[in-house]
């Protein structure tokens, strides 16, 4: 359970980090919904999930997975996930993200 909380909590924190980053980079970007309070509001909205994640990590230290605390195992999963992402990005073949050409209207 602790591992699930750590991993899903980390994904929620990434969403809040994106919210704060967009407030800095694109402050006037039209949005269907805005968190009030400007940049301070964006930071404050992410504070509660961060505190909850810290409490879960602290209390998860009592559980064990493969001989280590569940918090340490969850942290290891988070770090290895970032490493696998970077490795995947480095090993992509050249042109991997090039979109396929759409057929021209007369080539049916």
First to last CA, the chain: 54
Question: Residue 4: its pLDDT value, please?
Answer: 75
Q: What is the largest CA-CA distance in the chain?
A: 67
Among 37-41, 60-64, 103-107, the range with the most confident prediction by mean pLDDT is: 37-41
pLDDT of residue 76: 86
- Measured in degrees and rounded to the nearest 5, phi and psi for residue 105 equal -60, -30
Q: Write the CB contacts of 23 (distance below 8 Å, at least 6 apart in sequence).
A: 38, 39, 42
> Is pLDDT at 23 greater than 60 in this prediction?
yes
The model's confidence at residue 18, banded by pLDDT at 50, 70 and 90, is confident
Closest CA to 35 of 50, 23, 48, 47: 23
- Single pTM value for the model: 0.55
Question: Tokens 């404050």 — which residue?
Answer: 44
Nearest to 37 by CA among 25, 70, 65, 46: 46
The pLDDT tens digits for 66-82 are 888 777 787 788 888 88
């Amino acid at each position: 359970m602790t591992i699930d909380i750590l991993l899903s909590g980390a994904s929620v924190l990434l969403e809040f980090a994106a919210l704060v980053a967009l407030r800095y980079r694109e402050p006037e970007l039209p949005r269907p919904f805005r968190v009030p309070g400007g940049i301070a509001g964006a930071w404050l909205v992410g504070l509660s999930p961060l505190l909850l994640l810290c409490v879960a990590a602290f209390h998860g230290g009592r559980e064990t997975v493969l001989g280590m605390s569940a918090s340490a195992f969850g942290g290891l999963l988070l770090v290895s996930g970032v490493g696998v992402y970077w490795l995947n990005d480095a090993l992509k073949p050249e042109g991997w993200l090039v979109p396929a050409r759409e057929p021209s209207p007369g080539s049916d």
